[in-house]
Amino acid sequence: MADRVELIEYGDAPWYDLGPIHPLRPSRVLLTYRLIEEYGILEADHVTRTPAQDATDEDILRVHDEPYIEAVKLAGRGKRGPWWQFGFGPGDNPIFPNMHEASAHVAGASITAAEGLLSGRADHVFNPSGGLHHAMPDRASGFCVYDDPAIAIAWLQSHGVGRVAYLDVDAHHGDGPQAIFYDNPDVLTISLHQSGDTLFPGTGFVDEIGGPGAEGSSVNVPVPPFTPDRLWLQAFRQVVPPLLEAWKPEVLVTQLGCDTHYTDPLTHLMLTTGAFFETATMIHELAHATAGGKWLATGGGGYQWARVVPRAWTIYFADMAETTLPDEVPLTFLLEAESEAGEPVPDRLSEPEIRDSPVSPADIDRIVGEVRRVIFPYHGLT
């Protein structure tokens, strides 16, 4: 019997929209829904769609400070205040109308996904609007207002879940969940990202291992710029499966940022969709091998909003649903995406791997070796 799979749909709430020139475009989520529909994945009997619900203030307070939540509400209503103290201003985190309502809906979508797992309604759930992993308890950061993955994890633990593993494959370090759960020995955070030496937020080094009593629960694999598919996948295989198998979480939460793609305008890695296919398969297998199949996935970064994001997240969702997709992208989707983007969109899911890279296997061996030396002993691994 196939796993029960659920897609969380954003619905009619105010959109999380930072403005027409901001790189985080709502269209990337809408086009993802469209491509999933055009491929017919939602027509399978074991696949359902569920509308997102709003997170309550109580839900958000499990992670964020009350003064910050009040600031988000007031700023989004156009009130004046010292909003820069909370991370808002021109650039990464502009104030936008209905900011609290839109952000609470994204967080609520991830809670809806968590509730789907705990209720038994689904085995795997995907919230493509989520993955806002830079928000901190008291401030916005990196395009993120409320940290929906952390809110979902806190919700799960408040409803009786013990161990949770959070796996982040965004190009940027998953600094929000790491900081929020740094002292929590029941949450394992693993982030595989471009090194903070060369990319925002400048954190995520191997020696960030977790707070007192939670040592080894924070894991970082900072790879160099221009890391290609084969070497990124090498790092993943040598670090992630052993840790998850040792940890044995009750739920696996993932942030599936696809700004690791070689064409992304904000990052410097060299992954192709081939890496997304392999990563989806590995995470799916790990969810079953280590977490009883309970897999909550969120979106994340990705700033080639028409050319890459919909294909990447459709690849992940199709693997969740155990659906084999034709390589040719449906023409109806291409016409819609190209019309909106004003540029050609790739007509295939697959892409050739990039072979020319300044990063060597020895570079990755060194990083992986350091992670295994520093982290693995805390998990009884050698």
Catalytic residues: 134
Apex 301 CA angle, 195 and 166, nearest 5? 75
Please give the Cα distance from 346 to 338 (Å, whole number). Answer: 9
3-state helix, strand, coil in the chain (%, to 5): 40, 15, 45
CA distance 118 to 159: 9
Burial class (CB in 10 A: 0-12, 13-18, 19+), 12: exposed
* Angle CA 281–198–218, to nearest 5: 55
Q: How far apart are CA 60 and CA 155, in angstroms?
A: 9
Strands (E) across the chain are located at 5-9, 47-51, 124-127, 164-168, 187-194, 218-223, 251-255, 295-298
Contacts of 120 (CB under 8 A, 6+ apart): none
On whether the CB atoms of residues 147 and 135 are closer than 8 A, the answer is yes
Question: Where do we find the tokens 């540029």?
Answer: 343
Spatial contact of 157 and 186, defined as CB atoms under 8 Å apart: yes
Name the residue among 159, 153, 208 with its Cα closest to residue 186: 153
